[in-house]
Structure 1
Amino acid sequence: MQDPFSNNSDSPIPRFEQMLKTNEIYFFDAEDFECIVQYYIDTGEINLAKKAIQLAIKQHPIHSELLLLKSELLIFDGAYEDAKHLLESIEEIDPNNQEIFVQRATIFSKNKNHQAAIDLLLESLKHSEELIEIWCLLGMEYMVLEKYSEATEYFKLCIEQDPEDYQVLYNLLFCFEFLREYEQAIEVINSILEKNPYNEIAWHEIGKQYLNLDRDADALSAFDFAIISEDRFTGAYIEKGKVLEKMGRTNEAIENYQISIQIDDPSAYAYLRIGKCHQSLGNDMLAIQYYKKSVQEDPSSEKSWIALIDFYIHKEDVKKALYYTDKALLINENSVGYNKRNALLLQTLGKYIEAEIAYQNTIELGNYELEIWIEWMNTLIFLNEWEKLITIGHQAKEFYPNAEELDFRIAASYQKLSRLNEADFFIQDLFKKKKEPSESFLEFFPDFRRIFNNY
């Protein structure tokens, strides 16, 4: 097949596109049509692919490869039954064509019948000469079924034949990491490096596997080799910086992050890491500067905003922390991290009505930490909302049935409402379990020590 991306005069693409601008119909041989249709599929121009295949079938009605491309487009559109019927017709013309098995397996996969897809692909191995595609598809189907051990076997076969198929390599490493088989991952990557010692991707990936095994020195060496192999490999500088940070070599980490920014477009992550490094060195002004650069580079970066907010929380500058929390919430009001900090900061400032709403938002967004439930209940204490406090306390107990901090607050709330029998139920239970009220609770209810001691 001709290369559809070539700019030479043999490429059929310009001629086909010229035809579309006129009312004329040009003749193309079948191989040219294959090239044209595949080009438009690969570039995502599906409507043009459909136009091309329609004309192709008119000119070459029984050409199996063109019919298979039509079937592929039908599958893309979700017209699985039409694709099945077409594949049956193609099988009569070309019964041993591997692509028939592949497309039928794809239909099974699209319908979430992955085991049927696997069975068909295994059968196709008996008839196929080009095995790599089948191995890759089998690996993908086993991955979907979370059968990672089986998936690794087929991905390894692919890598043995094509060590530079990085998508397969990434899939294989994902399986190994899920299985925590880091040594096996290293073994596979070493086999790639034996064939090409200057494969920067392989060095990068083996470094990450060494990190999984806490072999930091080996990881650092691997990232160095990745940089030697390709001195503009941004990812290797970032990973090397992270290892250096972990090893306490903070200034060297900053240097590597800076290099990554100089090589490529600045990234919010690199700015964030530099900010973290400067904060650990006590360079507060530089830390703030890089945190701000990070959020400017990527305003949607939650980690960057949280680093900036937490910096001011650590410095006990509550108003500035709240200022940046408000800005972050304008960008993403559904962030659990932002809402949690907003609630805690509002509570610290004594804005209990706003804090109570923020705690409710935090819980509704899925943060069920015990601390959040307790602080929400504490804001309701300040607001004298005893009925609501009891309701929230019982909701919290669904997640933390044995948390005495919840029980003490519920008991005290029943006391405030003069619902003494219900209060006694909780107090007696706490007494039997030999639970003592915490100092933080007694700050809210100092008389409770006496009440509790009377039991």
Structure 2
Amino acid sequence: MKKKDISRLLQRYLSGHQEGKDAYFDADEIDELLDSFEESDDYTYYDEVLALGLRLHPGNPDLQVKQCKSYVYNEDYDSALVLIESIAETDNQDLDMLRLECYVMQDSYDKVIEHIEKLIADKCEYLETIFEYIAPILGDVEMTKEAHDFINRGLMLFPDNLILKDELCYNLEMEGDIKKAIEVCNELIDKNPYSNDYWFTLGRLYSISEDYEKAIEAFDFALTCDDSNEELKILKGHCLYMNGNYEKALEVYNDVKKADETYTPRLMPLLAECYVKLEDYEKAYVLLKELLKQKNLHEVSSGSYISYILCCVETGHKEEASDTLMKAAKLFPYNIRILSMLVLAHMENGDEHKAQEATDLLFMAFEEMENKQLDDFKNLYRTGQYFFMKGNIDEALQYFNKVLNAVPGMPYIHLHIAMAYLAKGDIEHFCEHYKKTSPEELFDYLKKVGFDLDGIIDHFGFKHIPPEDLVKEFLKNKDNNN
């Protein structure tokens, strides 16, 4: 029906409604009016018109199916199933899909399979459509195991169904089997090599597996199919960044910003991180300062605060760096790297009491962290190095031992602990840890940090690194934003 005819139907309904009486519509007119609401995704009058239709034509099966859909939409699955049973109509695709959807939403997968097997036995003509409809719903409600089983059942019957294979790809990703998901995605691309969606998915899967080179290649193929997807470009920029190609990542981000200014706030921290990696701290400082002005403080990530503090230090805005660190510590009270920076700041200010308080909080936050990453331990490691260089040996040992207990194989950890005990004059513990350091590791480390190998026997003569330079080196490690 044409839009103007639908408009007349709606106006007739509204006129009757305003007069407090029901206008008459035949069942087809009600059905078409309801279809127009669904197509426009405007359900303002849907329930009212449906109720009117059922009053006028209570036994009409099409309107009863619409009532079932309304029940499902409003999550009243019990009422939907009661109505489906009362209709008792066989070979009705809509009713079968609604029935199975209700079973899924009621977490009754056994009933789903029971009904599917009945449809198979009855040689249902629309069985493939049923599988296509239900598989995504199982995925949406995170019934991952059940979804995998259902998809496999469908593919046994319809092995060339691309919708089911696409769902399998998604399901495997949710299960964490990225390698298999990539295999399935490549099968989809073989069937349709010009699909932007398939190439995008492949690139995303490679990015998850940290194979950024292949991810970038897949994104480039996706862009040859459709170059209008700005989200895809941003993800490509991320992969370029992770692959160390910061200049190219900047180009991609700037192209997105030029194409659509609404992306600017989101791109500002991404652009800033590229400039930080390129050590162009002035440009990064300007971007991050603007970001902190424009956004609510709680909307800015901890990583952006850490980068901004670094940029402040590098560009000579040290008071601003200190103020920002205090703000960040309040906003992210359990962030490992920010707490580590806070410890160092208090030490630089000569406030050992506050430094110890921050250390205690840091260790508590660290113990309560789930899914600790190697970089989190490296962060503690560097803080321990700072204390050692400052001559705070006991504090350094706190950090070194925390790392040792969690990551015994951390490079140079036994050597650092040995040196700390040597500084304390504790030869017994020095020897204990020194013996656990291989000669290769020892000489490699001494070479890296500038030890005087000729004087090693007398005083382990290491090259002194001024504390302020060590703080800069600590800040420059941008891979630990927690």
Q: Fold conserved (TM > 0.5)?
A: yes
The whole-number CA distance in structure 1 between the counterparts of 2:159 and 2:271 is 36
The whole-number CA distance in structure 2 between the counterparts of 1:233 and 1:104 is 37
| Paired residue secondary structure (1:96) | coil
| Paired residue secondary structure (2:5) | coil
| Paired residue secondary structure (1:324) | helix
Which residue, 50, 65, 68 being the options, matches 1:53? 50
**Structure 1 segment 333-352 matched on structure 2, within 5 A:** 333=331, 336=334, 339-350=335-346, 351-352=354-355
Amino acid at match of 1:186: N
Which residue, 108, 113, 116 being the options, matches 2:103? 108
Which residue, 149, 157, 171 being the options, matches 1:175? 171
Name the counterpart of 2:358. 355
The whole-number CA distance in structure 2 between the counterparts of 1:268 and 1:169 is 37
Q: 1:297 to 1:78 in 2, by over 3 A?
A: same
Name the counterpart of 2:453. none
CA drift at 1:104: 2.5
Name the counterpart of 2:263. 266
Note the residue ranges of structure 2 that are not aligned, 5 or more in a row. 347-353, 388-397, 409-413, 432-482
The whole-number CA distance in structure 1 between the counterparts of 2:69 and 2:50 is 11
Q: 1:296 to 1:124 in 2, by over 3 A?
A: farther
Which residue, 234, 237, 241 being the options, matches 1:238? 234
Amino acid at match of 2:228: R
Q: Contact conserved, 2:234 with 2:252, CA < 8 A, in 1?
A: yes
The whole-number CA distance in structure 2 between the counterparts of 1:284 and 1:130 is 61
Q: 1:37 to 1:335 in 2, by over 3 A?
A: farther
Name the counterpart of 2:128. 131
CA drift at 1:188: 0.8
Matched, 1:117 2:116: no
Q: In the TM superposition, what whole-angstrom CA distance separates every residue of 1:398-439 from its partner, at most 9, and x where no partner exists?
A: x9996699xxxxxxxxxxxxxxxxxxxxxxxxxxxxx99936
TM-score (norm 2): 0.63
Q: 1:342 to 1:368 in 2, by over 3 A?
A: same
Name the counterpart of 2:417. 438
Name the counterpart of 1:420. none
Deviates more, 1:207-216 or 1:50-59: 207-216
| Paired residue secondary structure (2:271) | helix
Larger RCO, structure (CA 8 Å, separation 6 or more): 2
| Paired residue secondary structure (2:22) | coil
Name the counterpart of 2:393. none
The whole-number CA distance in structure 1 between the counterparts of 2:189 and 2:318 is 49
Q: 1:108 to 1:362 in 2, by over 3 A?
A: same
Which residue, 251, 256, 261 being the options, matches 2:252? 256
Name the counterpart of 2:189. 189
Q: 1:308 to 1:50 in 2, by over 3 A?
A: same
Amino acid at match of 1:257: Y
Note the residue ranges of structure 1 that are not aligned, 5 or more in a row. 380-392, 406-434
Amino acid at match of 1:261: K
**Structure 1 segment 185-334 matched on structure 2, within 5 A:** 185-193=185-193, 197=194, 199-209=195-205, 211=207, 219-264=215-260, 265-294=262-291, 299=296, 300-302=299-301, 305-306=304-305, 308-309=307-308, 311-312=310-311, 320-321=320-321, 323-328=323-328, 333=331
| Paired residue secondary structure (1:232) | coil
Q: In the TM superposition, what whole-angstrom CA distance separates every residue of 1:126-156 from its partner, at most 9, and x where no partner exists?
A: 4342632433303543761425654554787
Q: Contact conserved, 1:437 with 1:449, CA < 8 A, in 2?
A: no
Name the counterpart of 2:143. 144
The whole-number CA distance in structure 1 between the counterparts of 2:338 and 2:214 is 42
CA drift at 1:221: 4.3
Q: Contact conserved, 2:138 with 2:147, CA < 8 A, in 1?
A: no
Q: Contact conserved, 1:102 with 1:134, CA < 8 A, in 2?
A: no
Q: Contact conserved, 2:302 with 2:332, CA < 8 A, in 1?
A: no
Q: In the TM superposition, what whole-angstrom CA distance separates every residue of 1:46-95 from its partner, at most 9, and x where no partner exists?
A: 6633222211110110112221222233334443333332221111xx23
The whole-number CA distance in structure 2 between the counterparts of 1:290 and 1:170 is 40
Matched, 1:74 2:53: no
CA drift at 1:353: 7.1
Percentage of identical aligned residues:
16
Q: 1:57 to 1:440 in 2, by over 3 A?
A: farther
Q: Contact conserved, 1:269 with 1:294, CA < 8 A, in 2?
A: no
CA drift at 1:335: 7.2
Q: Contact conserved, 1:186 with 1:209, CA < 8 A, in 2?
A: no
CA drift at 1:113: 2.0
Q: 1:247 to 1:352 in 2, by over 3 A?
A: closer
TM-score (norm 1): 0.67
The whole-number CA distance in structure 1 between the counterparts of 2:117 and 2:403 is 49
Q: Contact conserved, 2:269 with 2:304, CA < 8 A, in 1?
A: no
